[in-house]
């Protein structure tokens, strides 16, 4: 493994510990810092552990095999096609979820279950995100089509 992997892990642990220190300040966002503590610290510890494990001579062969398998998986045409297809399906499902969410919040706002001004704000945000997704998909497809 690269030395940068170790430093990234240590950096994540440091950010996590800084978030833990912020928890004790008892601000309105202390609970968010508690979540960020876990979100940074645990993956950082895992990365440092992996670095220590795979840089030891005892596990060097296992690490080489793992890297070779990753390279094979990345270049496998069938798996690449499946990744592309799954990305497209996830994109379409995301658009459908946005459209259904906008409709649901519209009904909830009109029925008075959710404050109508909050529902309207959320609907505008979701509509903007829906348009962004659509235009981004069209633009990225056009760029890739022109490139290849």
- Global pTM reads 0.61
- pLDDT score for 123: 93
Mean pLDDT of 69-77: 86
CA 98 to chain centre: 18
Beta strand residue intervals within the chain, DSSP E: none
- pLDDT score for 132: 94
- pLDDT score for 147: 86
């Amino acid at each position: 493994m690269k030395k940068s992997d170790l430093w990234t892990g240590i950096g994540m642990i440091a950010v996590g510990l800084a978030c833990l220190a912020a928890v004790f300040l008892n601000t309105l966002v202390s609970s968010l810092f508690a979540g960020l503590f876990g979100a940074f610290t645990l993956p950082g510890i895992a990365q440092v552990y992996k670095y220590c494990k795979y840089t030891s001579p005892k596990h060097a062969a296992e690490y080489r095999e793992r890297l070779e398998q990753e390279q094979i998986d990345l270049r496998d045409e069938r798996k690449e096609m499946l990744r592309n297809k799954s990305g497209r399906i996830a994109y379409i499902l995301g658009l459908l979820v946005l459209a259904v969410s906008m409709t649901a919040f519209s009904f909830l706002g009109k029925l008075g279950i959710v404050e109508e001004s909050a529902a309207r704000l959320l609907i505008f945000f979701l509509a903007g995100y829906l348009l962004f997704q659509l235009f981004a998909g069209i633009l990225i497809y056009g760029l890739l089509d022109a490139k290849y």
